[in-house]
Amino acid sequence: MKFNTSLLHAGKDRDEKYGATLSPIYQSSAFAQPSADALERIFENRAPGYCYTRVGNPTITEFENRMTKLEGGLASIACASGMAALTNAFLNILSAGDEIVTSASLYGGSIDLFADLEPFGIRTIYVENNHWEQFEAAITDRTRLIFAETIGNPRLDVTDIRALAKLAHSHDLPLIVDNTVATAFLVRPIELGADIVVNSTSKYINGSSNSISGVLTDSGKFKWDYDRYPGLKPYQKFGPYAYIAKLRNGLFRNTGACLSPQTAFLNQIGLETLGLRMERECANALELARWLQDTYPELTVNYPGLESSSWYEIAKEQFGTHFGGILTIRTGSKERAFELIDSLNYVYVLSNIGDTKTLVVHPSSTISLHSTEQQKIDAGVFEDLVRISVGIEDIEDLKEDFAQAIAKAFQ
């Protein structure tokens, strides 16, 4: 199946009872079994089935299966948010004394999370993206995972996933990739060697910003050294499912950041149009970026699809002809950035991405508010930077809106 067909059909359940084209929402906290014995067997993982929605639910399972197909993985776990999915993905294999090596260009929430893990004895070392000597130098015998975003948010640098996976594997380390900004429409990190992929499905997967959620997808391919990751040892019998089995029977179940069935349903509706929306959003973003760059030399436009981007070559090689729906502009000052934002008519001022509607935000005073000055510089966040998440509007209307807002900001 090609991309758009598989969004509709891959991993989708057929409703045998009534033939409904959308699967029912199993809005139920618990599931009855015919006998105490049957329930015991489910609890002991000896039989498939459902007992309690914090652990699993048919509507959520269907969404997980569709995400697994989308990312080309082995199995997925859906969580209450992208941050919950990241937290689960990391902590499933970490303990006190362990270290994370990550690209410095990250979503502000992830930087905040790594700071929150410090009191638990988990240290994070930040290095410049795609600088392999820096990655090599940061890896110690305490390192347990490598992390990066496919497209850094909001720096819009592009990780060379194949090269980073190779480096991670040469040290017997798993590579975890946050694919939220790129989505599988641009690239499937697992095909390039990533071991675990995380998506904040609140963004492009859901597509119209009606719910918060996140999904982690395991490739099942990483060869865990059970002495180095002792927590996985009891799950060795699950073979390639060891990582997912540990999570579902452990931290995921016990921290309780499960998805709601209603959200799993809404996400599946969104998922079906991911290809169509991304195609339009990428086309709009490229045209807007080119037009802003050509028309306004006073702005610095950053978009991976512009030849002026430092990451254009790797973006072209890794993504092909689409470069994502997000671009940034530098305006010269914070005041001008605010003036420009406040002068837009159609565009929403909010901290989100991946909506059908165009959104703008001033990252420095919002998503990166808790970062240090150095962390902001490393993440490409400047006082005069405006991030634009481009929607599916008609491009002429977007250009007109930005033209009048820029005129006001620079008058």
Ligand X SMILES: *Cc1c(COP(=O)(O)O)cnc(C)c1O
Which two structure tokens, joined as six digits, stand for 311?
Answer: 């990451």
CB of 145 to ligand X, least distance (A): 16
Which two structure tokens, joined as six digits, stand for 302?
Answer: 């950053």
CB of 205 to ligand X, least distance (A): 10
Asked if 214 touches ligand X (CB under 6 A), the answer is yes
CB of 268 to ligand X, least distance (A): 17
Asked if 176 touches ligand X (CB under 6 A), the answer is no
Stretch that binds ligand X, among 62-70, 80-88, 127-135, 397-405 (CB under 6 A): 80-88
189: nearest Cα among 177, 202, 200:
177
Helix axes 334-343, 395-409, angle to 10 degrees: 140
314 in helix, strand or coil? Answer: helix
Stretch that binds ligand X, among 16-24, 79-87, 156-164, 301-309 (CB under 6 A): 79-87
- What's the chain's Rg over C-alpha atoms? 22
Which residue's structure tokens are 């959104």?
Answer: 359
Whose Cβ is closer to ligand X: residue 353's or residue 381's? 353
Which residue's structure tokens are 């001008």?
Answer: 336
How far is residue 194's CA from residue 248's CA, in Å, rounded to a whole number?
21
Asked if 98 touches ligand X (CB under 6 A), the answer is no
Whose Cβ is closer to ligand X: residue 110's or residue 284's? 110
Which two structure tokens, joined as six digits, stand for 60?
Answer: 């959520």
Stretch that binds ligand X, among 51-59, 200-208, 268-276, 358-366 (CB under 6 A): 200-208
CB of 80 to ligand X, least distance (A): 8
Cβ neighbours of residue 36 closer than 8 Å, sequence gap 6 or more: none
Whose Cβ is closer to ligand X: residue 232's or residue 251's? 251
Where would I find the H helices in 296-333? 312-319
Asked if 149 touches ligand X (CB under 6 A), the answer is yes
CB of 109 to ligand X, least distance (A): 5
Asked if 371 touches ligand X (CB under 6 A), the answer is no
Asked if 181 touches ligand X (CB under 6 A), the answer is yes
Whose Cβ is closer to ligand X: residue 56's or residue 82's? 82
Instruction: Decide if 167 contacts 132 (C-beta within 8 A).
Output: yes
Instruction: Decide if 27 contacts 262 (C-beta within 8 A).
Output: yes
β-pair partners for 258: 79
Stretch that binds ligand X, among 24-32, 41-49, 78-86, 301-309 (CB under 6 A): 78-86
255: nearest Cα among 33, 91, 27:
91
CA distances 1 to 4, 6, 10, 165, 242, Å, are: 8, 6, 8, 27, 28
Asked if 183 touches ligand X (CB under 6 A), the answer is no
CB of 19 to ligand X, least distance (A): 33
76 in helix, strand or coil? Answer: strand
Asked if 389 touches ligand X (CB under 6 A), the answer is no
**Torsion angle, CA of 104/148/327/301, rounded to 10 degrees?**
40
CB of 81 to ligand X, least distance (A): 3
Stretch that binds ligand X, among 65-73, 102-110, 256-264, 384-392 (CB under 6 A): 102-110
CB of 155 to ligand X, least distance (A): 11
Choose, by CB under 6 A, the member of 56, 58, 109, 275 that binds ligand X: 109
- Residues lying near ligand X in the complex (CB under 6 A) are found at 81-83, 107, 109-110, 149, 153, 178, 180-181, 200, 202-203, 212, 214, 353
